[in-house]
Amino acid sequence: MTYLDIKLPASDDNSYALRDFAGERIVLYFYPKDNTSGCTLEAKDFTSLQREFLDKGYRIIGVSRDSIKSHKKFIDKQDLNLLLLSDEDELLVKAFDVLKEKSMYGKTYMGIERSTFILDEDGNTVKEYRKVKAKGHAETVLNDL
């Protein structure tokens, strides 16, 4: 099984594997946590630029380990227009190697390293951004396409 076959529940009440988007180009972004400052900034930026991404032929999909319930609250609270996948079992985050050891206040833990991957129509990664800073990231990705 490849990362294309990992099926995850989505914020639109469906479940998807990346294979389901064959023929489409995707901006797949991984973020640490719903409703946190950096993740909110990044999601709002992707939402505000979504028309430009679509005009260039790219669908935006966000992924975190949060539950669908959390994703729906995030979407409603922040007025987002994005498809968010819930990876509570850490299958896709591990497949893309974005689960990293982090530290905060002297404690170490495993968390998602903010990362974005550009996938072609066949699901191949054609560009990746790792250790991303939320501010201005969506615009950087858009300008690179």
Domain ranges for the chain: 3-144
pTM for this one? 0.95
Q: Is 98 exposed, middle or buried (0-12, 13-18, 19+ CB in 10 A)?
A: buried
In tens, the pLDDT along 64-120 reads 999 999 999 999 999 999 999 999 999 999 999 999 988 878 889 888 999 999 999
Using left for φ > 0, alpha for ψ between -120 and 50, and beta otherwise, residue 72 falls in alpha
Task: Indicate which residue of 6, 8, 28, 39 is catalytic.
Answer: 39
Per DSSP, the three-state class of 145 is coil
Per DSSP, the three-state class of 14 is coil
- 3-144 maps to which CATH number? 3.40.30.10
In tens, the pLDDT along 38-80 reads 999 999 999 999 999 999 999 999 999 999 999 999 999 999 9
| Spatial distance between the Cα atoms of 120 and 68, rounded to a whole number of angstroms | 26
| Catalytic annotation present for 140 | no
